[in-house]
Structure formats: structure tokens, C-alpha cells
Amino acid sequence: MKSELAELDQKPTMLDDEAPDAVPVPHALVPHLGETAILLDIDGTLLDLMPTPREVWVPPGLSETLNRLTERTSGALAMVSGRSLNDIDLIFAPDVFRAVAGHGAEMRLSVGNEADDVHAPQMDKELKRRLAAIAKLSPGILLEDKGYSLALHYRLAPHAEKAIYESVSLIRADLPNAPIEVLPGKFVCEIKHSGFTKATGVRELMKHEPFKGRRPIFIGDDVTDETVFAIMPDMNGLAFSVGRRAIGVNGHFDEPKDVRAFLAHLLDDTRLE
């Protein structure tokens, strides 16, 4: 944990009980887990980025940490991801977590009844067909159809980035009134309905039990996570970025493994009992 927390972290009393290589926990900032909601981006935050989105994996111990945090927060732990609910479930199987998925297009407020999951309407088919054709620009561009949005992954074809965004711009120029927006990610260009974002999803999530009235802690690394960093002060929440110091955050982590260590520390900290 760095930046604004540096002052706190430098106090010897804060570090005495920590191993030299431990990630400093912002004791002074993290509230009682019974009053906290833990909101986590997945790729590049909780899990290390891999050459393709399909290759991510959950390292040993993370499942237990997440399940124990879910228990200690009375269920107020949620994934906040651009991935679909279905995808999130496959990654963490057999665990099932509450989630804001698809950049706010999908939401799971309770675990155990799939029928309660909320899904945004499908993207217009003709528009989707036109966007899908962009994948033909180069081998290595992987098309992901989330139903309500379309993602073009180009980690295996980084040279195609400019051509992808130019092609998307041309299609958008053709359809100036289409309610769509382009989300640039790490080696991914996603085209989605402009009516929802991770922030609209988090705002909605926080209106419901068991999240309601709690102080949210959000950790994310993407450009799209900045919409959530921006609303954390409205909820008296805390925002942390990963890999870079984003605007409006309370601190940042270097890598996903530091985030995992931080989460494990929250469980170890008896002050938070």
C-alpha cells in the first residue's frame, strides 16, 4: 500500500508486527469487517493477467480467503468485472460470488438462485454483426460475444490495435445515434450499451442487502474501474488501484499478488474482528 498511506505506513508502530515483505495494511483506514463491503475487480486485480482471458487461474489459497471474507462480511463481498456472470462462475467454480458483471450489464445480488440474476438486453444484432467482422482484420483477434456487448481481444495481435479502433470508429460514425460506447481495456476493445457502467452497477449493488449501509472498499486496475474510484467518496468508501497510481484513489498495489496478500491480512487482523 502506497501514496497517501505512506505517512501511516512509516510509523514504526504500524510496522512492528508485520513481516518485512508483508503488504502494509492501512489499519487506520480499514473499518471493522462487519461494517465493510469488499468490491473487487478480477483481471489484473485479483488474478494475474494471462495471454488470453481464458487462461487466468485462481491461485491456491485465494478461494479460502474470499470465502472467509464473504463470511466475515455477512456476504458483502462482490466481484466487479467486465466479464460476464457466466465467465466469473467458470473461473471461480465451484465458488459462486455476488457480482456486478459485464461492466454493470449483469448483477447478482444473492447467491443460490440463478433466476434472480439480472441481465441487460441483448445488443442489436445487425450492429453486432458489423462489429464482429472486425475480428477478421488479423489472426489472433479473439471475439467474445457477451450478448449485451461485444469484446475484441487482441493480446495475441497487438499490432492490430490501431486498425481495430479505427474500424470501430467508422461503424460508430455510421450510426451516430446508437446508444453504444467503446471501452478500451488492456488488449481488449469492448463495445457496449452506454447506459451502464461499473459505477452504475456498484451504486445499484450498494442499495441492497447485505451491502446497504456498509463502507465499500473497491480495488481495481482498469480504465473502467476509474468510474468506481470516482464514486467511492459518495459512499464514504475507499478506492485502491493496482499497477499504477490512479486518480482519486486512497492508495495502490503493485501487483495482484499484493492485493491477495492484503485480503489475507484483513482476515489475520484481530483488530477487525
Instruction: Indicate the residue among 82 and 237 with the shorter CB distance to Mg ion.
Output: 82
Q: How far is CA 40 from CA 82, 98, 115, 178, in A?
A: 11, 11, 23, 31
Is 43 a binding residue for Mg ion by CB under 5 A? The answer is yes
- How many residues belong to the site for Mg ion (CB under 5 A)? 6
Q: Which of 189, 251, 244, 197 is closest to 221 using CA atoms?
A: 244
- Asked if 272 and 38 touch (Cβ cutoff 8 Å), the reply is no
Least Å distance between CB 45 and Mg ion? Answer: 5
Instruction: Enumerate residues 76-95 that contact Mg ion by CB under 5 A.
Output: none
Identified binder of Mg ion from the candidate list 9, 89, 221, 258, rule CB under 5 A:
221
The whole-angstrom separation of Cα 265 and Cα 270 is: 10
Q: Rounded to the nearest 5 degrees, what angle is found at the Cα of 114, between the Cα atoms of 121 and 183?
A: 40
- Asked if 78 and 111 touch (Cβ cutoff 8 Å), the reply is no
Specify the DSSP class assigned to residue 250.
S
Instruction: Indicate the residue among 80 and 191 with the shorter CB distance to Mg ion.
Output: 80
Identified binder of Mg ion from the candidate list 24, 26, 44, 102, rule CB under 5 A:
44
C-alpha cell at 244: 499504477
21 in active site: no
Q: Which stretch binds Mg ion (CB under 5 A): 1-9, 41-49, 58-66, 104-112?
A: 41-49
Contacts of 155 (CB under 8 A, 6+ apart): 51, 52, 186, 187, 188
Three-state DSSP at 271 gives: helix
Least Å distance between CB 44 and Mg ion? Answer: 4
Least Å distance between CB 26 and Mg ion? Answer: 21
Site mask for Mg ion (CB under 5 A), range 179-208, x = bound: ------------------------------
Question: Which residue of the set 16, 21, 41, 87 is catalytic?
Answer: 41
Closest residue to Mg ion, Cβ-based? 44
Q: Which stretch binds Mg ion (CB under 5 A): 28-36, 39-47, 54-62, 169-177?
A: 39-47
- List the catalytic residues: 41
Chain positions contacting Mg ion, by CB under 5 A:
41, 43-45, 221-222
